[in-house]
Amino acid sequence: MKPTSRDDVTPQAVRYDESYFRSYNYEGASLGRFSMYWWARRYYATLVKRRRHSGRLLEIGCGLGHLLARLENRFETFGIDISEYAVAQARRVARRSTVEVLPAEGIDRFGPDAFDVIVALHLMEHLHDPALVLRKCAQVSRRGGLLLMTTPNLRAPFIRLKGEEWQGYKDKTHINMKEPHVWRQLLEASGFRVEKVFGDGLWNVPYVTFIPARIQLAFFGLPAAVQTLTGTTFNPARLGENLIILAEKSG
């Protein structure tokens, strides 16, 4: 297994510019309607809306703003990102949201009990100290507040087969990946009660060389497609390329 942290990269040193968001590092494919990216944002928005109906929502690492755009008709939405390019795009996409350049470590400037929902999609693996950011997430969350978090799954079943091509390793800005039980421990230590840890399915084909990738995607990816289309959470963590974690601010 590869090391799960690197000391030679800092989030501030990475150029999260237009080239990053157009590369494999940002899911590589089309961002348009019915793309994998489009379905994923629709799914995450569904997860939030089924658990909370209104309130103040913060997306940390909001990227291009497409998730905020899906939620701003129901929530008072805020987004932060360290990328000036991403923030500029997000302001165009999510026009009713308040979006600004701010590192994840700076969220405590919003003050205690500021948000009913916090979303952190594929953020924690980019941070040198995710435990610090999780503690700050708890500080700015109201009691019973929802946290939705996604991160690469070091227990994904085909990591050894994929090697350097596994999606978690391919992005060299992933400097802090952890086992599922470690994320649970960090969340609980930060003041969250973990509601559910599950997987996003097996979509990072090909897994074997002698079967066309499209056939593999139709076979391996079917549970992921059903989960995404229905807005459910039935894929176990062991059958996901990424972990999806739902947690609630306790006490």
76-99 per-position pLDDT tens digit: 999 999 999 999 999 999 999 999
Q: Which pLDDT score is estimated for 20?
A: 82
Is 1 inside a domain boundary?
no
Stretch (H or E) spanning 75 = none
Statement: residue 9 has pLDDT above 60: no
The half-sphere exposure of 87 on its side-chain side, counting CA atoms within 13 A, is 14
Tell me how crowded residue 189 is: count the other CB atoms within 10 A of its CB: 12
Q: Flag whether pLDDT at 245 surpasses 80.
A: yes
Element (H, E) at 150: strand 141-152
Q: Model confidence at 7, in pLDDT bands (50, 70, 90)? A: very low
Percent of all residues in the chain with a pLDDT value above 70, rounded to a whole number: 90
Residue 83 lies in a domain: yes
Instruction: Name the phi and psi angles at 197, rounded to 5.
Output: -125, 120
pTM across the whole model: 0.92
What value does the mean pLDDT of the chain take? 91
Q: Give the per-residue pLDDT at 124.
A: 98
pLDDT reading at 204 higher than 80: yes
Give the chain's domain count: 1
* pLDDT (average), residues 143-150: 98
The reported pLDDT for the residue numbered 17 is: 84
Average pLDDT over residues 29-36: 69
pLDDT tens digits along 50-81: 999 999 999 999 999 999 999 999 999 999 99
- Res. 2 pLDDT band, cuts 50 70 90: low
In a domain, 144, yes or no: yes
Question: Domain limits at 187?
Answer: 18-151+167-200+242-249
Mean pLDDT of 133-149: 98
Q: Is residue 96 part of a domain?
A: yes
Question: pLDDT value at position 251?
Answer: 75
195 inside domain: yes
What is the strand order of the sheet 56-60 is part of? 98-101, 76-81, 56-60, 115-121, 141-152, 242-249, 192-199
pLDDT value at 163 more than 60: yes
Q: Would residue 230 count as lying in a domain?
A: no
pLDDT, tens only, 176-191: 999 999 999 999 999 9
Residues 6+ apart with CB under 8 A from 81: 16, 61, 62, 63, 87, 90, 99, 101, 102
Residue 67 and residue 74: Cα distance in Å, rounded?
A: 12
The answer to the question of residue 58 being in a domain is yes
CATH number for position 146:
3.40.50.150
Q: Which of 116, 174, 180, 188 is nearest to 145 (CA)?
A: 116
Distance CA(46)–CA(51), nearest Å, equals 9
Please report whether residue 32 resides in a domain: yes
